[in-house]
Structure 1
């Protein structure tokens, strides 16, 4: 096992203790104390290896390894925040793998062992998960101009704490303007089981599924669960339930994926009809026409749900992305690398959203996957083997080296 391999596994175990659970998982929701402490740990890790650490106005954390003053940077990264009671690999693997490769290439280039055209930057995107503050992928949305900074900073969690205040409490809402970037690379666990089942160690992401994500507010009227006649009820929870059931029917009819990931009820009392419900529903598909048709059918169901439950349904937010390809030249570069390494691989679409989903629209982007055991993810028992993590590290090293040497140029 190489020195880089040994150091990575040691550092990954140490990082996983930050916000760690007895089960081996982690809980590091965005801008919580646990997330802040982990970000501080990571800043120390970067500084010790020659990087300068910067924060932009939405709290994205950047480690800059400068080799050529004035030259653009090749970025690599993912996210360190987590879902509640989540796995230790989702996002965090990609950040530390990217940082480890940057530090090694910086060392090698500084000593003359290799020559790079570009500087190197590792990024920890803020609030990728979107569980405390919505929407998900917030840091990369702001960075790429898809979400206004002021709007993002004003978003609050269920306790009324804003992104602005949460970042200020950590001292990690910065003002740094970052230098020009030339390309972006991200490596991540698959969050599915196809690679493990088919014996593939590396996934070359060539496109992303499309998604339609909705935040609904259902407004009813609070009343007594026993004393109010059915015909007189305006039950917000019933309206929300009809939305959830409608999304499932649409999924079965059109062959798309759907879920309700959050449901909040007021007053949430055993003897009161709900006056308000808030919920998030998403639809996802690898086919654009199918997704549009399913989305239209679901829209009709929203109107029927409001009528059937005698409530008002408002769409508070709609967050969508289309079926889009990653840069073909990046996929081709990664395929040359994986063939030279002799690792079993596949071309694959990503079902989940990632920060690369946003960044690919403004920079040449390469997205890589490694396997997830049994596809378990957003779960404290999420697992990827050391062997697969290290194969991914080798793949990332060779890929990032070529990108930093300018192989994607032109």
Structure 2
């Protein structure tokens, strides 16, 4: 499975993946998922929001155990973020069939669309729509860098955008959702464990900063006469690092656009996107407030107008304790001490936690690198992840 999926959407120059929502690479990933489902005799379907499902048992019976993740990527992302969870889900089902277990609950494997938000700027679009956390009106307003709207992209890919929206009936049929994911950090590497259980997802969000200055000639305009938004942006980037460091949080300006974007022109507008995360809400609020204050103070000095727009936000997600404890009991049945750890990364499991009981398993990432071609996980650890997921699914769905 891994060899079949690996070439899809891979950029020869960077070695990273460009599997953006509703593109040709995304379509190839979806075809791969469908083929895996049908080859195992599973009932395949796509829901109203374009999320894919592969069912063992009656999809309408209720109290289903669902596993899976996503197949899309960030720009030049790694091979494991998302796909490891989907591949491991199919492999875990194969392992359960090898064991000859009998299922007492329906089992499903899912691929949620547009988890990374690389194309339209909003993460977890597929699961947000299903959970009612993204309205149809706001979804219709989403546009990519070329001005193509989400409905236009879906229609071009062969899906009906007229059906998108909250899907409470489907979510009501799910008794538990367990997502396996490569760890995006080094906690497991430092503890020496191959697999861990997630405790919570840090609160996190994305903010757009618009720095409005005045376009002018780079060679003839005196420094004292300039209203250069790039200076204000640069000062804000440094302020973000300072505020995050002081608070024990993280803050990143990872995307920028410039107008008119000429080498010999002072910009009229610099637009930067901030991603910030912290272990608790109070800390995150402090960091965001400090960055915005620093940006506006610097803007006053530079003659630059600063406007801040919150584009997305996800509060802290505490995974359901009963399900989390059940996973720990299943995986610790032989006396093993399974580590429980928090994460600063968002996931579909976090979005779905508002509607269904959810839990997560992490597989060790020896470098801690993620959202990069250097992202990796050892084969033995991946196999251990499949075994752990199979044990969990057996414990939940084969009672």
TM-score under structure 2 normalisation?
Answer: 0.91
Residues in 2 aligned to 1:108 and 1:183: alpha-carbon distance in whole angstroms: 23
Q: State yes or no: 1:282 paired with 2:275.
A: yes
1:316-355 deviations in Å (ceiling 9; x for gaps): 3332223331111111111112212666631100121111
CA contact (8 A) 1:29 1:83 kept: yes
Partner residue, 2:136: 149
Q: State yes or no: 1:52 paired with 2:43.
A: yes
Q: State yes or no: 1:131 paired with 2:124.
A: no
CA contact (8 A) 2:62 2:175 kept: no
Partner residue, 1:6: none
1:166-193 deviations in Å (ceiling 9; x for gaps): 2222214474966322221100000111
Q: Are residues 297 and 26 of structure 1, via their aligned partners in 2, closer, same or farther at CA, if it must alter by over 3 Å?
A: closer
Q: State yes or no: 1:255 paired with 2:248.
A: yes
Q: Which of 322, 326, 330 is residue 319 of structure 2 equivalent to?
A: 326
Q: Are residues 116 and 88 of structure 1, via their aligned partners in 2, closer, same or farther at CA, if it must alter by over 3 Å?
A: same
Q: Which of 198, 216, 222 is residue 229 of structure 1 equivalent to?
A: 222
Partner residue, 1:4: none
Q: State yes or no: 1:171 paired with 2:158.
A: yes
Partner residue, 1:83: 74
Residues in 2 aligned to 1:90 and 1:198: alpha-carbon distance in whole angstroms: 21
Residues in 2 aligned to 1:55 and 1:31: alpha-carbon distance in whole angstroms: 14
CA-CA distance at 1:221 after TM superposition: 2.0
Q: State yes or no: 1:74 paired with 2:61.
A: no
Secondary structure, aligned partner of 1:305: helix
Partner residue, 1:400: 393
CA contact (8 A) 1:188 1:368 kept: yes
Residues in 2 aligned to 1:45 and 1:24: alpha-carbon distance in whole angstroms: 25
Q: Are residues 69 and 307 of structure 1, via their aligned partners in 2, closer, same or farther at CA, if it must alter by over 3 Å?
A: closer
Residues in 1 aligned to 2:98 and 2:58: alpha-carbon distance in whole angstroms: 11
Q: Which of 32, 36, 45 is residue 41 of structure 1 equivalent to?
A: 32
Secondary structure, aligned partner of 1:20: coil
CA contact (8 A) 2:66 2:110 kept: yes
Q: State yes or no: 1:17 paired with 2:7.
A: yes
Partner residue, 1:361: 354
Secondary structure, aligned partner of 1:340: coil
Gaps of 5+ in 1: 1-10
Secondary structure, aligned partner of 1:375: coil
Gaps of 5+ in 2: none
Residues in 2 aligned to 1:226 and 1:207: alpha-carbon distance in whole angstroms: 52
Partner residue, 2:197: 204
Matches within 5 A, 1:366-385: 366-385=359-378
TM-score under structure 1 normalisation?
Answer: 0.88
Q: Are residues 65 and 101 of structure 1, via their aligned partners in 2, closer, same or farther at CA, if it must alter by over 3 Å?
A: same
Moved more, 277-286 or 166-175: 166-175
Partner residue, 1:8: none
CA contact (8 A) 1:225 1:272 kept: yes
Partner residue, 2:213: 220
Residues in 2 aligned to 1:343 and 1:199: alpha-carbon distance in whole angstroms: 13
Secondary structure, aligned partner of 2:85: helix
Q: Are residues 139 and 308 of structure 1, via their aligned partners in 2, closer, same or farther at CA, if it must alter by over 3 Å?
A: farther
Partner residue, 1:158: 145
1:9-50 deviations in Å (ceiling 9; x for gaps): xx1121112223557643312222112111112112212222
User: Considering only aligned residues, what root-mean-square deviation do their CA atoms show, in Å?
Assistant: 2.3
CA-CA distance at 1:368 after TM superposition: 0.6
Secondary structure, aligned partner of 2:41: coil
Residues in 1 aligned to 2:301 and 2:149: alpha-carbon distance in whole angstroms: 35
Partner residue, 1:29: 20
1:182-230 deviations in Å (ceiling 9; x for gaps): 2211000001112112211111111111223212222222111122233
Secondary structure, aligned partner of 2:116: coil
Q: State yes or no: 1:311 paired with 2:298.
A: no
Q: How many residues align?
A: 392
Q: Which of 162, 181, 194 is residue 187 of structure 2 equivalent to?
A: 194
Residues in 1 aligned to 2:44 and 2:141: alpha-carbon distance in whole angstroms: 25
1:59-93 deviations in Å (ceiling 9; x for gaps): 22222332475334322111100122221111001
Residues in 1 aligned to 2:310 and 2:281: alpha-carbon distance in whole angstroms: 21
